[in-house]
Amino acid sequence: MFFRTAPKPHPILTPCIGVCTLDAAGLCEGCHRTIDEIAHWGSLPDAERMRLMDEVLPQRAATREAL
């Protein structure tokens, strides 16, 4: 008799560093996400989360540092 085991769930990747305060522009001070991105993060596909983490959020951080 063979038993099929459920695939192990993978953790949801997140850029959260626990500094959860929105600035005047509506971006999180810690991870640079918008409130909508934070709210929908768990339902976004892995590829979209990776795109945000690899491209969008670092760009926002660089823009913030340049000010």
Amino acid 13: pLDDT = 85
Q: Is it the case that residue 3 has pLDDT exceeding 80?
A: no
- Domain range for 18 is 14-67
Residue 43 lies in a domain: yes
pLDDT in tens, 17-65: 999 999 999 999 999 999 999 999 999 999 999 999 999 999 999 998 8
SS (H, E, C) the chain: CCCCCCCCCCCCCCCCCCCCCECCCCEECCCCCEHHHHHHHHHCCHHHHHHHHHHHHHHHHHHHHHC
Domains in the chain, number: 1
Residue 46 lies in a domain: yes
pTM above 0.85, yes or no: no
Amino acid 4: pLDDT = 74
Residue 20 lies in a domain: yes
Residue 40 lies in a domain: yes
Residue 56 lies in a domain: yes
